[in-house]
Structure 1
């Protein structure tokens, strides 16, 4: 079995020594090549090369950003001339060793948070041939594995990224402070401008912020799963939670419901739409936009599509 290990050398929870341990462990099971990402977007190119080279498995060592890049490389490297979508069985399988600060995708698959324990699970999966096929989300022409955000959620991600570039460590406290700061000082609360449009369905207008999930949980605060749509699944369509207004009482209530042990957000200002195949978000003002926790700038329109049975994963 041939495999490629795509390593983000800046992965926050691993060292050069631990990477060497991982390489030796993988080489005991597969014919392994190791490739390092050198810049943003490099993981896409490395995964496309792996598809064209006909490898059996692509293993990632990094955070959710590394996984997202590799997934996009796999999904866009297997069609005619490397530009279309191949069947899941015709693509290399994906194995994810958690190496970032949060690792939502790996944990949503049921992998342990610790990279050494996660490696053991993956090695067993390689030995036994154990895998599952999961669905993905597609936002315009970019795939995502677990979540997307349009509005407040994405603006918070941007604040965190700026803080990390300034040397701050990614912690739950940093996310909470960033969320509070964005809500108080950066959110447009009086005039919601987002509309959700669905084919052959009535639209939803005047939304303030929108969260999209391809699985549950949406994210983690430390060890605590955060679940706006607890029924979201890799085996279903996309799940949406939107807030119509960002008034203090209703927003506080919605956040408390989301963070509860049995999350079930409801209320006049809450919109939940499960299992969607396709929809678009349109705004009269450009909105912050993120996929899999990676801030992608501002957009006025994004089309979302559920892509079922898209990719095989070792877990």
Structure 2
């Protein structure tokens, strides 16, 4: 393997299978640009993590993902070893999934070929990674994310999205799942320790932001920066169903932060405990449940987009 060769990890099922159909064209674009690469398509959930880990062992240092936020999340979890990423590893993200929310903050073109062309002239930037320590199947686990993680209404909505058909992409599945979750969801009794401050009470959601967007374009953390070494935390407090529904449009504009039942904090570490069972999503994928601790890993990942 040539040390300058790239490993391309493709999720062919992302965006209702559109990524798989578009890959041959993108492959031709990569080859025409003179990029030396080895490509591998994922075959099952978690496979991108396995591919990324194998790529590191084989000596690859430039990794390109073509898929959605879930694919990016899996790849990042394959790149982190002992809470750090090899200093020579660089990641590029070609958006192709249902949401592709993380790269919105970098103004990455939505067209795959244009997104790749943009990487050719791009320098590397160091971005933060979020570490999550939580419970899954009664065992302590560790997981990583680069965009957003959340508990409560947020995570239950993501669970519904993942059960839906991916043939319809974008905002529609998220809004449909949101409406269905709204019918049955009950706010939780939660304790959040953020920056040494304890917040206790009934909460709708706890959202930990490294990036700014989730849910196919919802501007949930407009003040977040992926390279500032600190989380932006958004607490949706005891909103009733009507209050929640009326504020959904404000989330797309980023104006929900002024609502009296929305609180924001900044911290390098957050701890969440709940009296009721409370699941956790990272980049739209369910990864465990509370109690959970979130910690920032400043500048841990080199990104070229």
Shift of 1:50: 1.5
Match of 2:158 in 1: 157
Name the TM-score, length of structure 1 as normaliser.
Answer: 0.84
* Ranges in structure 2 where 5+ consecutive residues have no aligned partner: 134-141
1:188-227 equivalent positions in 2, closer than 5 A = 188-189=186-187, 192-198=188-194, 200-220=196-216, 225-227=217-219
Shift of 1:71: 0.7
Match of 1:280 in 2: 271
Give secondary structure in 1 for the equivalent of 2:113: helix
Alignment partners' CA distance in 2, 1:86 and 1:289: 22
Give secondary structure in 2 for the equivalent of 1:94: strand
Assess, with a 3 A threshold, how the Cα gap between structure 1 residues 256 and 37 changes in structure 2: closer, same or farther. Answer: closer
1:56-135 equivalent positions in 2, closer than 5 A = 56-76=61-81, 84-86=82-84, 89-90=87-88, 92-125=89-122, 130-135=123-128
8 A contact 1:160–1:170 mirrored in 2: no
Shift of 1:32: 1.1
Assess, with a 3 A threshold, how the Cα gap between structure 1 residues 267 and 64 changes in structure 2: closer, same or farther. Answer: closer
8 A contact 2:174–2:215 mirrored in 1: no
Alignment partners' CA distance in 2, 1:163 and 1:300: 25
Q: How many residues align?
A: 290
Which of these residues, 181, 185, 194, is aligned with residue 187 of structure 1? 185
Shift of 1:162: 1.5
In the alignment, is residue 48 of structure 1 matched against residue 53 of structure 2? Answer: yes
Shift of 1:199: 5.8
- RMSD value, Cα: 2.1
Match of 1:302 in 2: 292
Shift of 1:11: 2.8
Assess, with a 3 A threshold, how the Cα gap between structure 1 residues 88 and 230 changes in structure 2: closer, same or farther. Answer: farther
Match of 2:14 in 1: 11
Give secondary structure in 1 for the equivalent of 2:239: coil
Match of 2:281 in 1: 290
In the alignment, is residue 24 of structure 1 matched against residue 28 of structure 2? Answer: yes
Give secondary structure in 2 for the equivalent of 1:59: strand
* Ranges in structure 1 where 5+ consecutive residues have no aligned partner: 77-83
Give secondary structure in 1 for the equivalent of 2:72: helix
